[in-house]
């Protein structure tokens, strides 16, 4: 029988996490999140498990659900920025997919800068990443996308400040 007790499900998630079965742990943490009155913290645990297991897409979706409930967690916004950026630069993405993922990455980046002083030293690195993306888009023949990402790269310092 499928358990309906959140304590039991939490213990199952913790047990699977301990033995290194992170996808199964994430499953149980998501079950707890649906039923527990403080379910958001279990979404964060599920996202961490997905990330450790290498399922970055599920991690990003779970973290997105988490920040919709807990919008002030700068650590998770930073994770979302990183996951979305990594997804955007994976080979084989269409220009549209890359642009959407980079926009989502920039949105997460902007959420973090409002909550955390972490980006003071990072802003030039981010600008360099967006400049590189703009150069790649130009190389691929996407002039409009290239102009957009170059614009973002040269104005990211203003956005962060």
As separate numbers, helices (DSSP H) first and strands (DSSP E) second, the chain gives 8, 0
Q: Residue 159 class from Cβ within 10 Å (0-12 exposed, 13-18 middle, 19+ buried)? A: middle
Q: Residue 65 class from Cβ within 10 Å (0-12 exposed, 13-18 middle, 19+ buried)? A: middle
Using CA atoms, how far residue 134 sits from 112, 124, 153, in Å, is: 23, 15, 8
Sign of the CA dihedral 87, 96, 44, 20? negative
Query: What is the per-residue pLDDT for 127?
Result: 59
Full pLDDT tens readout for the chain, 161 residues? 566 788 899 999 999 999 999 999 999 999 999 998 888 999 999 999 999 999 999 999 999 999 999 988 888 988 898 898 888 888 898 888 888 888 888 888 777 766 555 555 455 566 566 656 655 554 554 544 544 554 454 444 444 43
Query: What is the per-residue pLDDT for 115?
Result: 58
The whole model's pTM is what? 0.70
pLDDT digits (tens, 9 = 90+) for 87-99: 888 889 888 888 8
Question: Tokens representing 131?
Answer: 């400049």
pLDDT digits (tens, 9 = 90+) for 58-70: 999 999 999 999 9
Going by C-alpha positions, the residue among 3, 83, 8 that lies closest to residue 48 is: 83
């Amino acid at each position: 029988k499928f358990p309906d007790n959140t304590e039991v499900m939490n213990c199952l998630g913790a047990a699977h996490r301990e033995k290194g079965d992170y996808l199964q742990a994430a499953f149980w943490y998501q079950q707890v999140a649906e039923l527990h009155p403080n379910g958001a913290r279990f979404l964060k645990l599920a996202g961490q498990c997905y990330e450790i297991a290498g399922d970055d897409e599920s991690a990003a979706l779970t973290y997105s659900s988490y920040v919709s409930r807990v919008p002030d967690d700068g650590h998770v916004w930073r994770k979302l920025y990183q996951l979305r950026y990594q997804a955007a630069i994976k080979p084989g993405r269409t220009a549209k997919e890359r642009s959407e993922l980079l926009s989502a990455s920039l949105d997460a980046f902007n959420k973090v800068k409002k909550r955390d002083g972490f980006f003071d030293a990072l802003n030039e690195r981010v600008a360099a990443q967006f400049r590189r993306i703009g150069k790649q888009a130009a190389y691929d023949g996407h002039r409009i996308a290239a102009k957009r990402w170059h614009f973002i790269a040269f104005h990211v310092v203003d956005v962060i400040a």
